[in-house]
Structure 1
């Protein structure tokens, strides 16, 4: 987690929309009250592919009551590959979400894939990590648990 850049103080995020696997529009407001690890990824991004199993394990370890990993796929024309990608890798704890038109990517000033943004229960950015990480390692779990606990 040495690459995780903690914000000096939690910063408000701009509004942005995304869709779920059924194309239902969503915003971050749907997760108000939960700590969110927003992960920008794509099936064609090798480092993204590498870290997805650890994100799945992180979600399994943390549970969904107060924490959610929100993997936001940037797959456009390759979108039909996402569900089979999850099935092939047995990613059973993560939902499927899409950043249509890369609007969230632009709104959150993301320029590297993968990028993960830790968001507190009030919807503010706590920090981000550009590049892949092993999210199921003890130091990553400790960081996520601390973020969840600070929301109490």
Structure 2
């Protein structure tokens, strides 16, 4: 696990430094996991993302373009991923606190077994605020160069990547909430509307 995390961190640092000369990193709050000290990496200039196609919890086809106009946290995860399982409750609490028309949290599962597995996972953990999104092919992870799970992309309202995090985060910690607000330019008073 540590070797994979180290390789993932090396890849991100190398990839970002090759594409952007002045990469910035911000250390995440401690979450008690072996990968907790991995940093959030941000680009000086936003970059275009490939088109991603997936389904929502009702089986409707969706794309990232559906969320254009709002900042997005795209979290690529799977039910069998232990760090993903640990971070999902805090991501659910972040969605409850900030989600809605001003921030869209898109937890994109790459489970090959389908919606029923993802829905059962949500029920098991009592996740109530997050939407359900699934790319059963797993192709979205490859398209955005996600080298480990979970991988979370910070996406601006124009649909461009401005940063990412490989590994879990304590998404509802005060430090991480402040970072999300700052990087995605959310007002501090924004208790968001329902989606």
Shorter-chain TM band: over 0.9
- 1:42 paired with 2:85, answer no
Counterpart-to-counterpart distance in 2, 1:97 and 1:54: 17
Please report how far the alpha carbon of residue 68 of structure 1 lies from its aligned counterpart in structure 2 after TM superposition. 1.1
* Offset, 1:74: 0.9
Residue of structure 2 equivalent to 1:58: 94
Identify the match of residue 74 of structure 1 among 110, 115, 128.
Answer: 110
3-state SS, counterpart of residue 62 of structure 2:
strand
When Rg is computed on C-alpha atoms for both structures, the one with the higher figure is 2
Structure-2 separation of matches of 1:102 and 1:145: 29
| Aligned 8 A contact 1:66 1:148 in 2 | no
Aligned to 1:112: 148
**TM-score (norm: length of structure 1):** 0.93
Q: Which of the pair has the greater relative contact order for Cα pairs under 8 Å at 6+ separation?
A: 1
1:21 counterpart residue number: 57
Task: Choose which of 81, 87, 93 in structure 1 pairs with 2:129.
Answer: 93
Unaligned runs of 5+ in 1: none
Q: Aligned match of 1:10 in 46, 55, 61? A: 46
Output the CA distance in 2 between the equivalents of 1:71 and 1:30: 14
In 2, Cα distance between equivalents of 1:147 and 1:5:
11
Give the distance between the partners of 2:75 and 2:155, measured in 1 at CA: 11
State the distance in 2 between where 1:70 and 1:78 align. 17
Bigger share in strand: 1
**What TM-score do the two structures reach when normalised by structure 2?**
0.73
- Unaligned runs of at least 5 residues, structure 2: 1-25, 28-38, 188-195
* 8 Å Cα contact 1:35/1:147 also seen in 2: no
* Structure 1 pair 143–23 and aligned structure 2 pair: CA distance change class (3 A): same
